[in-house]
Amino acid sequence: MTKLAEGPRILVWIAMADQFLDTEMRHDIPTTALRCVEAGLSKDDARAIWRHEVSPAVSGNAWAVAGEWAGWDRDWLVAELERRRRRWEHRRGWSRWLCDRLRVEPLRGVWLSVERCMDALLAVSSPEERERLARDLVFLARHGLDFGPRDPGTLENTDLERIRGLYPEPFRSIIGPALVSGESGAMDERLRAALQAGS
């Protein structure tokens, strides 16, 4: 696995852990993918961090009736992930495999979306373009998932045209795995209305 300096590793941990909060966070899938790309992670390395470091520490929140929703305490999160990372490296055999499956499966679709978003970001040549693409995908996700969307009328025409170029594809392919059954129709309606309203 790629060795990460503490700064980038912590940013990756925080972005990944936020996907396990007890509130809508799928709109930040592009941000999570961007943090992984900025840290120089391959998809395999990022997946290993998701499975073996972040999921063991915070996946229980996905099952909790009234889990953490306001955000993780950074000091607690970093200390917990460090502890679990050291512990996980020494676990072997079927128990490691079983724990991995139980922790990762509830948000498997979210992770697949992160990987697809990483692919899209890695296909862009400059860091500035990657940041812009991630922002544009967040804009679409906020509208599609109806989570605090920004008024498209506040965008410059060039920005709006660039965002329109991402919908329906590649946005639908990127976010698709993270959607629950029956959600895509409502997402498409909201996005079509938002992108037309910006005209």
- Tokens matching residue 136: 């544009």
pLDDT score for 90: 47
pLDDT score for 53: 87
State the DSSP string of 52-104. Answer: IIIHHHHTHHHH-TT---S---HHHHHHHHHHHHHHHTT--HHHHHHHHHHHH
What are 6-43's pLDDT values in tens digits? 688 899 999 999 998 888 899 999 999 999 999 999 99
Where do the domains of the chain lie?
6-106, 109-197
Give the model's confidence band at 93: pLDDT under 50 very low, under 70 low, under 90 confident, else very high.
low
Among all chains, which residue has been given the structure tokens 């990944």? 16
CA distances from 5 to 37, 38, 53, 188, 193 (A): 14, 12, 15, 40, 43
- The three-state secondary structure class of 166 is coil
pTM of the model: 0.87
